[in-house]
Structures are given as structure tokens and as C-alpha cells.
């Protein structure tokens, strides 16, 4: 018979940390902490298998679950000497979610469950503290009504604020027991008014309502969005953790908090966290009150006058510090812990590997190797390649003038400039129009997840370093300033005031998540410097990866950027991008308008020196590293103007009439240009175009070599080949150009001629094509389009629905479809190398910078991946992780 419930607490547990898939991360770690003998309130975990059963069986629980829960609940009561639902000595519990991987703020929690009018009175008598009892009761009603009954949190905040205003106080802690008992009654009245039913008084009805709400939150819109953004499988499900309550709201010797065993922004080895006296855990993470630092050193750095936990509760702080050191040594990773102090006694409520900024991830990984906690391979595996994006983009120029308007907490590093938006929906809309946005909120909530993802940065007036905004922003790599208390935000009016300064919707601000500063207007940025821990980790990664990493670069600037990030060559130089500059586009249009080959060659002669100059700059920048140049690919009509005034300008420059130009554009128009007259087809119908490009390439290579530079490793790539004879025809024309140059100059450069594999037929006939091609580069953008019958420009309309409905796991244009497109790649590799052993194989589509696609490329036996310059470090680290975790196909 299946075991649906696993107990923990009192120095023992049914589970261990290795059981994350069954118990969820929180349940597995609660079990592990119990087994380590740490002070964990007793409880039990309902497994993820129950969640799976729940959704597979019309939201019904498996047989035997209720009995198992009753037994586990009785055990918890026995351990702490209380009984669930008993008026005199009530057992109160928390009900929390716990997925396999952390999803901060995405699913639901209920605290103080088991309270009703009778048990609240019994709790007051038992503890001798009526204020504490009714504070806990009103909190429970508010949380249960929101999480289980679906009422808005703000309805109850309005009642609370009204009562505080009536009494003339500002803080919740200034309300007495009578005030709180009255507020609890008002809360119950509001529940009955809005739901048509009394607030549930029966403790077991409350419990099963909360369990159902936690399982239900797995399919909430915000959880679905988070899973989609973080590639978390829907069928994993969540566990439910039911745990005896401990109370941080028992007075000034009680507290609640969150701490990291190292600074999650910098990686520094200090106990870093926040706490609130006389509060419950949700007060910290929800950002409702701005908390105080745990450590004295952090308080001093923040210039805070409010005392730290180290100063207010020194004994509890010392115990917490020891527990954190033990947990970090046990898990061999930086931990994020939640704790409660009840009447001076420490209780641990959770531990997990802490989310961290990219800079911190690098430092922690490198430092732990030096400390002997982990080895180099584990350090490489620990850092998320995608997180390196946080390090690769500009930060504020320290010498630039700035107009500081506010200061908050440095919640997530990096800097961002953008228009101010006050709601998540507004942020998503403006970002969708291609503009940079800063999401400004009093505090964020899980419902803001889509806006936070769309924003360039996040600014909040309330909340601390462990608030929802801070944790989610760090996970997403978004700069964030939180707790900027000077801001007076009026979202309805679309404005925020900072003293006399008023910033309105659409105004530009700049935030610096590294310093916590907010500036009016745009502030100049500076390029990052990748040294220190970054260089150390990248060095370790480079020593073990099998895949080379090249870049997609069309200019010397792109090439320079990529070299700085560690690129080992250019895997795709798109020559058509060189044609769109001012004077060049006129010459290109003259080529298109030419009536015959002679006119076309005359126009091409104007482009030849321009192309040659471009290639000279790129070859010099690459200093002998391989450079793959793709000959002209897009349809000619893309170069023609569309507006009447542009047509007139081009006609004048070309010495022809607007009517002729318009007629030429109509003649070149195609219904489906991506499958039309482009790539090698263009070179076959107008071979003089490819001949001009070949001459420019060869002459540039010779000029660079004659100037004393390293020999150019030249690879000429012919696009969109589907038939071997296409490649044969064009290779012969290119070789004729090389022969002509040798005759003229007495030498020719060394080069390879290959092709892009971007059509299913090319993949299927790769063995034959390899008789001519000296290398293959997989153009997976087009190969995905042609294999799946999808237009990349149009598929977004419905692919989102496919993702939401779990019909596909990933967008195939973001991460390669390993089963379909991947099968074509493997087939082409196998057949190509069967014909030409040692055939060089690479990938140059957008997938070349995606870690999951890079793992596939490693497994398929490719020689290199090529990606945009800023993705080069991502690819280097991902390639190393692939080498550690995945076998390669034989060459």
C-alpha cells in the first residue's frame, strides 16, 4: 500500500533530503534537519504523488489519505502536548506548499490553522496573553479567507487600517487584545457577507480546505507562469507540509526571520538576513513591514539605526549562526533558512539552497572550492549558465552625472533604465511595444510575475532583501531596489512622489540594484569587466568542455565583444547585414534593378571594396581564429524600399524612374519568401553576386596575411542547399575566383567550402552532400521552421497556448526540438561523417546559446556551437556542464 504521509520532528523523520521528488524540497529538507537533530517543530508531509492523483482523478484524494493524516496529526499533538481542535489546549498548525524546486511566492500558505472563537479564547487562557491569541486569530482569518475562500487580501487590510485610524495609532503592535478581538469579528462578518457562508469553525474542515487550496495553487495562473519561465515540469506536482505552529508574535522575546548563510547578492561569507520582532513569517516575505538586519555588520553597512537581531536577541542569534554553519557544511551549498523565535527559543522552519545573483553564485562556487567544501566539477555544475547574463551587461558609469531621488535596499544587482509603469499589465504592454520599462510598486505580489519578467528593473517602496520582489528579481536576473520608503506611490493616478519631485507614468528613471539608488532620467552605463571569480570558473569550465564556442558576428565590434567574452572563432558572419548601411544600400538596389549581367557587375564593383574592407577588419580582429562567412542569403526584395518617398529617393540615386523601381519590387515579390528565391538559389540565378563576395573574402584574407597577421582560417558557407548539385555549381564558381586571384597575385588563401544544413532534405542527403562540403553548420532557426512547418515570426500567436496546455515542453525556437529537429541533426552528422570522416560540424542558429540545446549538441558529437557575443560565456559554461553530465556520440 502506498505511503501518502511522511512524519518529521523530534529528532527523527520518515524521509531524507534525497527524497525531493516525493516530499518536495521543503518536506525533504524538514526531514533532513530533523534527522540532524536541529530544532524543527514536528509535522508531516503529504507527498507529491497525492497531488498527481488529485489532478488525475477529478480532484479526489486517494483512499486512506484521511486516516493517514489523522494519525500523523495525533502524533504531532502527542509530541507537543496539545490536541487539534481542542478548546482548552489547541494544536495549531501551518499548511504550506513544497514543490520539488523552489517557487518563491507562487503557491499558497496558511498559518495558525485550527483557531476559532473557542480555541482563540483557550489559547488566550493557556498563554496568559490575549493580545497574542487574537492577533493570531485575525491573521488566520485573513490568510484563510484569501488563500482558501478566494477573497482579496486588501479587503481585510482596509478593515485593519480603518480600526487603527479610529484609535489614532500607526502600527499593528499598538492595538490591544480588545481591538484585535473586534477586528477578528469584523473579518468574520466580511467573510460571511462576501461568501454567503459563515467562516468555518471546525478545525478539520479548515485543514482540508487548506490542503485543497495548496494543491489547487499548483495550477494557479501565477504558478503556471513561473513554471513556464523556469522550465519546471507540470507533472512534478507539489507536496503539502503540515507543521505545528511556533509563534514569533508572542512579544519582544519572539521574532521571525529569513537568513542566508552568505550574502545572496555578493557571495560574501557573512550571515545575511532580516527579522521582525513580535511578528509572523509572512510579515517578512510579503514586504508588509520593512524588517531589520539579522547581523550587526550588515546593519552598520546599511547605516540603519534599528538594532540587529545580533544585538537584540544575542543568544538566539548565536544559536542561529551555529545552525547555519552546520547546514551549509552538511549541504555543501549556501542555504536560505526560515526561522522563528518563540519566547527566546529558536525553531527552524525551512532550509533550501538559496537563490543568488550571478556574481554571488560565482564567488560562492569558487570560494567553496578554496574552502575544500566542493571540487571544481561541482562548482561548474552549481552555476546556472543563463544567470551569467547578469554579469555581461552594462552597469552605471560612476563618473556620469546623476540626479539621486531616492535610496532603498540593494535587493538585486545590476542597473536598468526605463519608463515608469505602475502595474504588471501596463509593464507587459509597454515592453511588448519594444520599450524599456521599470516596474514601480508599493510592494510586489505573486500576481505581478508577468510584469516583473517583462520589466528591465523593479522598484518597490516597501519590503526588504528577502521580500517577494527581491527574491524573484534575483532569480530572474532583474535589477531591483526594494524598501525605498521615501516613495509615495499612487498607482491609480500613475505617479510617485519623492519629496517635492513627482515622477509620472512614462517618465524615465534609472535604478541601481547594486547600491539601492534611484535616479531621475537616464544614466550612462559602462561595460562589464570579466575578471576574478568569473575568470577562475571559466578557466575550469574551458579545461573540461569538448565543444568549442564561436560567435555570430557581422562586424569588427561584434567580433571584439565576443573575443572579450572568450569566443574561439566566428561561426556565422552574415554578409547581408553589411549591405544595409547608407551608401551601400543604394549600390545593392542598383544590383537588383540591373537589366542584365553587365549592369549588375558594374553595380557589384561598387560593393566589392566595401565588402573587402569589412572582412579585413573582422579577420584582423579574429587574429587567426576560424571565421565562417555565409554568402548572401535573404530574398532580394528585402533590400527594396516600400514607401513612396523611399522609392523616389532610390530611383533618383539609381538614375531610373520610380515606376520601374516599383514594377521591379512587384516582380520580385514572393508569397512565401522564406521558402523562395534566397540562399544558394540566389547565387545560382545571379552567380556574379557570390563571385563578388568570394573575391572580397579572398582579397581581404590575403591583405591581412600580407600585413603580418596570423593566417586566416577561412570557411565559406553556402546557405539553403538542398541538392548536392547546387553546392557543386557554386563551389566551382568560388574556386574559379580563387584560381583567378592566384593567377593575378601568385597565391591564394587557404579555405574550406561548406554548407548550412537548414532543410530536411539536406539532412537526409547529408552523406551525398558531404562529398562536396568540407564542413556542415546547422542553421537550426530555418531547420526548425522547415521541419515543423512553422513560421518563427508568426508561431508565437499559438505556441504560447501549446506551452500552457502542456502540448510542448519548450518553445522549439528557444530550445531545440531534440526528438524531431534533433533527429535530423543526428542523422546528418552520422551520414556526413560516414562519407567524410572528421567532417567539421557546428551549429549557428539561436539555439547555439541555449544551455539545453548545447547539451544536445555535445551529445550529438558536434565540434562547436556559435551564438551571439553576449551568450558566449553562457555557452562556455553550458558546454562544460554538458561534458560533466552527458556522453557524446562517437565521431
Cα-to-chain-centroid distance, residue 209: 33
453 counts as catalytic: no
Q: What is the dihedral of CA 188, 194, 198, 199, to 10 degrees?
A: -50
Contacts with 824 (C-beta within 8 Å, 6 or more apart), sequence order: 760, 763, 764, 783, 787
Residues 6+ apart with CB under 8 A from 98: 23, 24, 25, 26, 27, 45, 238, 239, 240, 241
84 close to 114: Cβ distance less than 8 angstroms: yes
Grid cell digits, residue 425:
499589465
Rounded CA gap, 539 and 832, in Å? 33
Q: Cβ distance 579 to 607 under 8 Å? A: yes
Report CA torsion sign: 221, 222, 225, 230: negative
Contact 255, 340 (CB under 8 A): yes
Distance CA 379, CA 282 (A): 33
Alpha helices, DSSP H only, in 501-595? 533-544, 556-564, 582-593
Alpha-helix residue ranges (DSSP H) falling in 342-458: 358-370, 376-382, 424-432, 449-454
Told to judge if 829 belongs to the known catalytic residues of this protein, a careful annotator would answer: no
**Which of the residues 53, 453, 468, 637 is marked catalytic?**
468
Distance between CA 758 and CA 663 in Å, rounded?
32
Q: What does the alpha-carbon distance between residue 395 and residue 357 come to, in Å, rounded to a whole number?
A: 15
Active-site residue, selected from the candidate residues 324, 573, 829, 844: 844
User: Cell numbers of 83, please?
Assistant: 490536541
Burial of 197-232, coded b for 16+ CB within 10 Å and e otherwise, reads eebbeebeebbbbbbbbbbbbbbbebbbbbbbeeeb
Nearest to 660 by CA among 574, 589, 733: 589
The set of cell numbers assigned to 640 is 527594396
Residues annotated as catalytic (active site), given as ranges: 468, 844
Amino acid at each position: 500500500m502506498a505511503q501518502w504521509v511522511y512524519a518529521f520532528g523530534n529528532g527523527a523523520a520518515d524521509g531524507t533530503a534525497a527524497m525531493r521528488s516525493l516530499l518536495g524540497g521543503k518536506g525533504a529538507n524538514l526531514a533532513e534537519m530533523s534527522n540532524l537533530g536541529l530544532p524543527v517543530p514536528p509535522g508531516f508531509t503529504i507527498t507529491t504523488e497525492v497531488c498527481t492523483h488529485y489532478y488525475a482523478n477529478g480532484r479526489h484524494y486517494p483512499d486512506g489519505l484521511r486516516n493517514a493524516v489523522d494519525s500523523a496529526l495525533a502524533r504531532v499533538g502527542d509530541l507537543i502536548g496539545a490536541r487539534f481542535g481542542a478548546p482548552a489546549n489547541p494544536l495549531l498548525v501551518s499548511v504550506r506548499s513544497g514543490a520539488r524546486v523552489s517557487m518563491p511566492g507562487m503557491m499558497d500558505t496558511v498559518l495558525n490553522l485550527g483557531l476559532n472563537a473557542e480555541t482563540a479564547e483557550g489559547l488566550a487562557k493557556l498563554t496568559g496573553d490575549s493580545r497574542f491569541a487574537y492577533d493570531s486569530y485575525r491573521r488566520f482569518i485573513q490568510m484563510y479567507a484569501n488563500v482558501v475562500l478566494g477573497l482579496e487580501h486588501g479587503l481585510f487590510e482596509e478593515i485593519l487600517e480603518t480600526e487603527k485610524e479610529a484609535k489614532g495609532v500607526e502600527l499593528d503592535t499598538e492595538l490591544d487584545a480588545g481591538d484585535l478581538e473586534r477586528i477578528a469579528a469584523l473579518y468574520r462578518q466580511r467573510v460571511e457577507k462576501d461568501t454567503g457562508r459563515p467562516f468555518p469553525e471546525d478545525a478539520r474542515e479548515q485543514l482540508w480546505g487548506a490542503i485543497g487550496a495548496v494543491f489547487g495553487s499548483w495550477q494557479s495562473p501565477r504558478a503556471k507562469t513561473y513554471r513556464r519561465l523556469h522550465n519546471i515540469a507540470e507533472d512534478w506536482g507539489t507536496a503539502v507540509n503540515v507543521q505545528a505552529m511556533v509563534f514569533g508574535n508572542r512579544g519582544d522575546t519572539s521574532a521571525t526571520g529569513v537568513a542566508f548563510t552568505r550574502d545572496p547578492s555578493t557571495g560574501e561569507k557573512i550571515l545575511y538576513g532580516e527579522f521582525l520582532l513580535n511578528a509572523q513569517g509572512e510579515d517578512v516575505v510579503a514586504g508588509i513591514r520593512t524588517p531589520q538586519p539579522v547581523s550587526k555588520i550588515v546593519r552598520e553597512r546599511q547605516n540603519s539605526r534599528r538594532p540587529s537581531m545580533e544585538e537584540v536577541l544575542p543568544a538566539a542569534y548565536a544559536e542561529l549562526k551555529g545552525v547555519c554553519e552546520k547546514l551549509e557544511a552538511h549541504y555543501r551549498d549556501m542555504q536560505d533558512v526560515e526561522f522563528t523565535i518563540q519566547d527566546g527559543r529558536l525553531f527552524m522552519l525551512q532550509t533550501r539552497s538559496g537563490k543568488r545573483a550571478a556574481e554571488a553564485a560565482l564567488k560562492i562556487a569558487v570560494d567553496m572550492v578554496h574552502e575544500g567544501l566542493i571540487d571544481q566539477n561541482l562548482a561548474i555544475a552549481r552555476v546556472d549558465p543563463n544567470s551569467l547574463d547578469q554579469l555581461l551587461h552594462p552597469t552605471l558609469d560612476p563618473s556620469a552625472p546623476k540626479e539621486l531621488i531616492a535610496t532603498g535596499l540593494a535587493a538585486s544587482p545590476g542597473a536598468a533604465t526605463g519608463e515608469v509603469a505602475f502595474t504588471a499589465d501596463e509593464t507587459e504592454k509597454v515592453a511588448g511595444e519594444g520599450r524599456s520599462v521599470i516596474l514601480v510598486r508599493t510592494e510586489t505580489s505573486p500576481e505581478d510575475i508577468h510584469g516583473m519578467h517583462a520589466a528591465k528593473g523593479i522598484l518597490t517602496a516597501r519590503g526588504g532583501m528577502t521580500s517577494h520582489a527581491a527574491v524573484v528579481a534575483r532569480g530572474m536576473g532583474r535589477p531591483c531596489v526594494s524598501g525605498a520608503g521615501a516613495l509615495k506611490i499612487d498607482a491609480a493616478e500613475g505617479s510617485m512622489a519623492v519629496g517635492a519631485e513627482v515622477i509620472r507614468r512614462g517618465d524615465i528613471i534609472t535604478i541601481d540594484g547594486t547600491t539601492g539608488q534611484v535616479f531621475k532620467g537616464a544614466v550612462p552605463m559602462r561595460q562589464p569587466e570579466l575578471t576574478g571569480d568569473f575568470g577562475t570558473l571559466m578557466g575550469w569550465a574551458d579545461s573540461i568542455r569538448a565543444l568549442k564556442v564561436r560567435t555570430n558576428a557581422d562586424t569588427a565590434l561584434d567580433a571584439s565583444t565576443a573575443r572579450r567574452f572568450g569566443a574561439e572563432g566566428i561561426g556565422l558572419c552574415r554578409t547581408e547585414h553589411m549591405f544595409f548601411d547608407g551608401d551601400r544600400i543604394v549600390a545593392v538596389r542598383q544590383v537588383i534593378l540591373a537589366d542584365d549581367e553587365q549592369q549588375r557587375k558594374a553595380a557589384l564593383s561598387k560593393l566589392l571594396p566595401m565588402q573587402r574592407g569589412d572582412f579585413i577588419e573582422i579577420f584582423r580582429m579574429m587574429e587567426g581564429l576560424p571565421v565562417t562567412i555565409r554568402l548572401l542569403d535573404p530574398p532580394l526584395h528585402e533590400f527594396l524600399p516600400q514607401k513612396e518617398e523611399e522609392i523616389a529617393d532610390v530611383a533618383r540615386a539609381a538614375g531610373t524612374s520610380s515606376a520601374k523601381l516599383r514594377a521591379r519590387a512587384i516582380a520580385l515579390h514572393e508569397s512565401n519568401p522564406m521558402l523562395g528565391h534566397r540562399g544558394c538559389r540566389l547565387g545560382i540565378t545571379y552567380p556574379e553576386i557570390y563571385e563578388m563576395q568570394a573575391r572580397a573574402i579572398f582579397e581581404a584574407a590575403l591583405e591581412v596575411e600580407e600585413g603580418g597577421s596570423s593566417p586566416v582560417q577561412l570557411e565559406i558557407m553556402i546557405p539553403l542547399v538542398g541538392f548536392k548539385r547546387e553546392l557543386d555549381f557554386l563551389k566551382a564558381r568560388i574556386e574559379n575566383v580563387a584560381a583567378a586571384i592566384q593567377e593575378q597575385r601568385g597565391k591564394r588563401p587557404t579555405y574550406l567550402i561548406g554548407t548550412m544544413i537548414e532543410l530536411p532534405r539536406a539532412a537526409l542527403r547529408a552523406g551525398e552532400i558531404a562529398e562536396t562540403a568540407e564542413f556542415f553548420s546547422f542553421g537550426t532557426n530555418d531547420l526548425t521552421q522547415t521541419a515543423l512547418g512553422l513560421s518563427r515570426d508568426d508561431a508565437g500567436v499559438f505556441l504560447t497556448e501549446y506551452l500552457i496546455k502542456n502540448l510542448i515542453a519548450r518553445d522549439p525556437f528557444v530550445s531545440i526540438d531534440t526528438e524531431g529537429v534533433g533527429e535530423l541533426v543526428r542523422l546528418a552528422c552520422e551520414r556526413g561523417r560516414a562519407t567524410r570522416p572528421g567532417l567539421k560540424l557546428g551549429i549557428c542558429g539561436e539555439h547555439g546559446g541555449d544551455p539545453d540545446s548545447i547539451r544536445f549538441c555535445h551529445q550529438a558529437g558536434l565540434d562547436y556551437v556559435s551564438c551571439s557575443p553576449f551568450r558566449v560565456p553562457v555557452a562556455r559554461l553550458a558546454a562544460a556542464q554538458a561534458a560533466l553530465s552527458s556522453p557524446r556520440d562517437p565521431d
